[in-house]
Amino acid sequence: MAVPILKQARYLIATIQSALTDEDLLTLQATLVEKVGRFRSRGVIIDVTALDVLDSFASRTLRDLANIIRLRGAETVIVGVQPEVAFAMVQLGITLEKVPTALDLEEGLAYLDKKLQHVPAEP
């Protein structure tokens, strides 16, 4: 299941629309890393609003993704974690440690704008 990825100025927005297999997650990882390089993006927002479940593999993959993307010069923000999903995750000890999170797309964009204030605007 391909995840739609939109480009918005210097940001990429990936909206996950249904449960992803482990394979899909790895594909997403590769695609985002490639696109960050191609578009010289400064920020990536991954929207998980539609996910009912975030298991340890998904969490690890997202964490790795954030680290890889950071190495390529971009910040990642995970948005849209549902209350029930958040609750289940902490009970199982799954955390998105060190990966910034925000409530939704709007908050995610605000976070990136603030975080990247020092980055010169695109000419």
Stretch of 9-17, 27-35, 60-68, 77-85 lying at the interface with other proteins (CB under 8 A): 77-85
Neighbours of 48 (CB within 10 A): 22
Nearer to other proteins, 34 or 104 (CB): 104
SS3 87: helix
> Are the C-beta atoms of 61 and 27 separated by less than 8 Å?
no
SS3 31: helix
Nearer to other proteins, 5 or 86 (CB): 86
| Residues found near other proteins in the complex (CB under 8 A) | 78-79, 81, 83, 85-87, 89-91, 95-96, 101-104, 107-108, 110-111, 114
